[in-house]
Every structure is written in C-alpha cells, then in structure tokens.
C-alpha cells in the first residue's frame, strides 16, 4: 500500500481503487481500517477511491502519542493526505464516526473541499446527539425480522454501556438493511479491523466545539450530500436532517431499505446517488418522493424545454439535441425512475412515468414548458397532457406507442446477462401495458389542449405509422410528420428532427 507522512512523522497507509478523479473516503469506526468500505458498492467504477487507514489501524503506523487519536487532531492527517496527492481541492466522503472528522475538516479547511459526502455520519462534532430513543425507534422498524428478539435484548445491554464483542455481535443485525451472509461476514470482520483502545481517545474532552463548528459550517458553500439509511439508528433520518440544515448548500437522501452500511444494503442505489451528486453536470431533485437526476443546458432566463427519454435510455440520449436547443432555450433532460442515475424503486408503469414528469415540472417550476418525449417518455407526456390540460405549453411526441393493444402481443422478455443502465422490471411492467393499454388513454386524447407535433420514424419503425397518424388526428391542433429514421429519430436524423420542431414553433 502507498504511504504518506502525517504532521508528526507517523506513516499512514492508503488504498487506491479505480480510475478517474480522486475521492478521499474516510472510514469510521472510529479508528477502523478502511478495508471494510470495500469499493463502496462499485463506486470505484466511476471514481478513483483513496481510502486511508487511520493512524493505529490497518497498515498505518501506531503514533508515539496516543492523544493524537483525538478527532480534532486527526484533521491534519487528512490535510497531509491532500497535500501528498497534490490536489488543490478534493472531493471528500466520510462514513459513520468519520462524519465528525469531515465536519471539522470542512470547518478548518473549507477552501480545500470541492464537495463533501456524509454517509450515515456521526454528528457529535456539531452537537447533535443520537439518543437511546432514536435507537429504540429504529429497532422497532425491524421487529418482524427473525433475529429481532435477540438483537433487541442486546441493544438494551449496548445502550447501558456494554461494549463486549458478544454484545456487539448480537446487536449487529440492526445496522444492516439485510442480515444475509455478506452482512454477517462484514460484521464478523469488524473487531479485527478496529483499534478499540485507540477509539477511546477519539471522543476525549476537547475534541469538539459544536458552537464554533456550526458557525463555520454555516459559511461552507461547497455542495454537501448527507445520505441516511432508512433503518439506521445512529443517525436516524431525523437526526441526519438536522445535520443537513446546518449547511447552506446541502442535499439530503434517505436510502430505502438501508441501515448503517448503505453500499452493502443496496449497492446500486448507493452508487447512483453518490455518482449523481459528484457529477458536476448532474442535478438531483426530490419529486413526488423519487429522486430524479437531470442535466441542464442554456440560459436560465430562456424559454424552458423538457426532454423525456425512451424506455431503457436516460437523459444522455438527448445530449446532441439539447446542445443545439440551448442556444435559445433553457433545456432540461431528466432520468425517469428506474433509469440512469435516478431512483430505482422497483415498481413501474406508464402512469408512474407520467407522475415523474408531472412532479419534475412542478419541482422545477416549469409550468408552460415545451415537452419533447421519445417513445416511453412521449407516452408519459401525452398522458400528463390529458390529465393536466394547460400544464404543458407545447408537446412533441416522437415515435410514441399508440394506445392500441399490440397485435401480436409481446411475449415475456428475457433479461440480458450484462449489467444494465436501467432497472429490468421496467420492461415486463410496460410490456404488459403495451399489450393491454387502458382504454381511457384513447378516450382522453381529445382533452389535450397543448399544440402537439407527432413525429413518426417511417416504414422501418416497429410502430404502426397509420396509428400515429390517427393519434395526431385525435388531438385538437395535432399534426403528424414523418422522418424516415426508424424508431430512434432524434439520434439517427438529428438535423431533420431539429428542423421539424423548429417549424413547429421552437425558435
């Protein structure tokens, strides 16, 4: 493992995982070797993870002065690592007890941080205390689990001051979203990775000055992500929300089904959330209870255009179109639920995608925007235009699936073996609706008040073009054009696509 030297000469080790811009990842414990973080659920596929072992743990040396384990004195170890990496500013991620260390670092060296990600973080540094009641209320969420009675009894001992390995082992199921084989192995490795004797110095008197730290963080303007676990007791989502309120530029996410180690409980959800936060081109917004990731181009004061992608795609499929439209418009392209970097909740339907579009328009205050949808996104758009006349200013439907039962119906699809950029249940759920669409989808087309352009891909498209002509005719003020490109019109024939929507009224 590579090493660097702390301010007092102590040799500190760190691991490097993945490629790309560095992300310093501080392990919790406190004083626990960073190996327990693994590759953070696959985050190393997107960033170069720099995972230091705290002094006295893992491959780092034991310091001469045990008082140097105190949390506020460890701040300069992080600064030494930044200098060693040769980075003027860094992205910093901290887990659990290291949330305290990261808060102190942000307060002391705010100019050195590009972003700060706090994962189920400790909060004592800012004066937020996790109470026994927090732990008991969190444990009640797990009462139907078979291991609950033993864990609940152990929690009583733990909160009464029992810190033996036996007590910790018995209470361990409460800090994992799933108590499966992987969680049991992870928990069993904990004692061997942690310097328990050194951990006692971490919280010694003088380590924290909450009033001063809170005041400093109020002026900390870098983006902050606080990620809490739904089932976590330390901190609970409510306590984590208190932490969020201390930062002027913070995003708050509660990972469903997760406890204290969210990258183990649902690696995909964890990586999508953190990846979206760290990508400067991606913004996340909570819309209708779903985190929707999106990209934005153009002048904020320009007329808005919202781009809605097709099934199995995401906002990136619109990049070329968005860059052209951005000359005269403020362009938003978002990922529907179950796609790209948005939440993947597992339940999908055209109505839920409609609701995503509706919630996104409301969350971004985009009433009256032009909406351009492709395929599934187009279906969501016309369903919304039916339900909320006047919400959409202009409507472009590219290769929209018409509201007729498929003939012949689609047979059950088989999931591909490779990793997907979308949640596979999207496919069987929407295939079922394409085979048997709600008759109301047809009946309400006449209620659409937005001027509507329907674009068909011509004879090589899998969609019956005569039914697109019919659909355009049912919408008051609707018109139909053909661009012979097949189903992917805006990617195969972008110039002609842009020309047609400009004729339609987009300058």
Query: pLDDT tens, 373-393?
Result: 999 999 999 999 999 999 999
In whole angstroms, give the CA distance from residue 343 to residue 257. 13
Q: Are 237 and 230 in contact (CB under 8 A)?
A: yes
Beta strands in 298-423 (DSSP E): 304-308, 330-334, 370-374, 394-398
Q: Provide the whole-model pTM.
A: 0.95
Q: Is residue 404 classed as helix, strand or coil in its secondary structure?
A: coil
The CA distance from 143 to 122, in Å, is 25
CA dihedral 218, 219, 223, 225 (to 10 degrees): -20
Q: What is the pLDDT of residue 204?
A: 95
Give SS3 for 14. Answer: strand
Band of residue 222 on the pLDDT scale cut at 50, 70, 90? very high
Average pLDDT over residues 198-212: 95
Give the pLDDT confidence of 19-60 residue by residue, as tens digits.
Answer: 999 999 999 999 999 999 999 999 999 999 999 999 999 999
Within 10 Å of residue 160's Cβ, how many Cβ atoms? 9
Identify the pLDDT of residue 507. 66
Kindly report, residue by residue over 287-321, the tens digit of the pLDDT. Answer: 999 999 999 999 999 999 999 999 999 999 999 99
pLDDT tens digits for range 380-432: 999 999 999 999 999 999 999 999 999 999 999 999 999 999 999 999 999 99
Distance in Å from the first CA to the final CA of the chain: 57
Backbone angles phi, psi at 91, to 5 degrees: -95, 135
Distance (Å, whole) CA 328 – CA 161: 64
Full DSSP string of 158-198: HHTT---HHHHHHHGGGGSSS-SHHHHHHHHHHHHHB-HHH
SS3 state at 413: coil
Paired tokens of 158: 């733990």
Q: Give pLDDT, residue 167.
A: 82
β-sheet bridge partners, residue 118: 94, 226
Residue pLDDT, tens place only, 349-370 = 999 999 999 999 999 999 999 9
Q: Of 489, 384, 391, which is closest to residue 441 (Cα–Cα)?
A: 384
Q: What was the pLDDT predicted at 157? A: 85
Average pLDDT, the chain: 96
User: Nearest Cα to 277, choosing from 121, 423, 122, 117?
Assistant: 117
Report residue 76 as tokens. 């300069």
Cα–Cα distance between 75 and 100 in angstroms, integer? Answer: 10
Within a 13 Å sphere around the CA of 30, how many CA atoms are in the beta-carbon half?
Answer: 24
Overall average pLDDT of the 490-506 stretch: 96
* Torsional sign, CA 140, 145, 151, 152: positive
**pLDDT greater than 80 at residue 164:** no
């Amino acid at each position: 493992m590579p090493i660097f030297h702390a301010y007092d000469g102590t040799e500190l080790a760190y691991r490097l995982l993945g490629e790309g811009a560095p992300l310093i990842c501080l392990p919790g414990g406190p004083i626990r070797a960073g190996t327990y973080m693994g590759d953070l659920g696959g985050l190393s596929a997107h960033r170069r993870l720099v995972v230091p072992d705290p002094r006295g743990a893992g491959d780092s040396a034991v310091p001469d002065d045990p008082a140097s384990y105190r949390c506020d004195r460890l701040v300069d170890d992080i600064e030494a690592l930044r200098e060693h990496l040769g980075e003027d500013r860094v992205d910093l991620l901290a887990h659990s007890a290291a949330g305290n260390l990261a808060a102190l670092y942000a307060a002391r060296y705010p100019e050195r941080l590009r972003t700060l990600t706090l994962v189920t973080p400790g909060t004592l540094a800012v004066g937020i205390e996790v109470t026994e009641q927090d732990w008991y209320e969190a444990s009640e969420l797990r009462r139907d689990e078979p291991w609950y009675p033993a864990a609940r009894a152990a929690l009583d001992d733990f909160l009464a001051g029992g810190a033996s390995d036996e007590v910790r082992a018995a209470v361990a199921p409460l800090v994992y979203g799933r108590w499966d084989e992987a969680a049991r192995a992870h928990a069993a490795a904990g004692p061997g990775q942690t310097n328990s004797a050194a951990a006692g110095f971490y919280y010694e008197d003088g380590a924290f000055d909450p009033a001063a730290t809170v005041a400093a963080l109020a002026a900390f303007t870098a983006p902050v992500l606080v990620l809490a676990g739904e089932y976590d007791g330390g901190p609970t989502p409510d306590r984590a929300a208190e932490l969020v309120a201390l930062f002027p530029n913070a995003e708050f996410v509660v990972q469903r089904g997760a406890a204290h180690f969210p990258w183990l409980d649902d690696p995909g959800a964890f990586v999508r959330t953190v990846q979206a936060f760290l990508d400067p081109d991606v913004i996340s917004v909570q819309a209708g209870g779903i985190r929707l990731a999106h990209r934005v181009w153009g002048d904020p004061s320009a007329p808005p255009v919202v781009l809605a992608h097709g099934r199995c795609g995401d906002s990136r499929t619109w990049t070329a179109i968005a860059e052209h439209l951005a000359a005269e418009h403020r362009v938003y392209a978002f990922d529907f639920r179950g796609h790209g970097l948005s939440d993947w909740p597992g339940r999908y339907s055209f109505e839920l995608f409609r609701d995503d579009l509706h919630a996104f328009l409301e969350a971004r205050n985009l009433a009256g925007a032009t909406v351009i949808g492709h395929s599934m996104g187009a279906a969501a758009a016309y369903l919304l235009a039916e339900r909320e006349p006047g919400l959409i200013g202009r409507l472009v439907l590219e290769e929209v699936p018409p509201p007729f039962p498929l003939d012949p119906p689609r047979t059950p699809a088989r999931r591909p073996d490779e990793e997907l950029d979308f949640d596979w249940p999207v496919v069987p759920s929407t295939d079922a609706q394409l085979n048997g669409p709600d008759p109301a989808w047809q009946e309400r087309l006449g209620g659409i008040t937005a001027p509507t352009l329907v674009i068909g891909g011509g004879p090589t498209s899998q969609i019956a073009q005569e039914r697109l002509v019919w659909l355009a005719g049912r919408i008051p003020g609707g018109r139909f054009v053909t661009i012979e490109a097949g189903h992917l019109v805006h990617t195969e024939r972008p110039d002609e696509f842009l020309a047609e929507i400009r004729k339609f009224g987009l300058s």
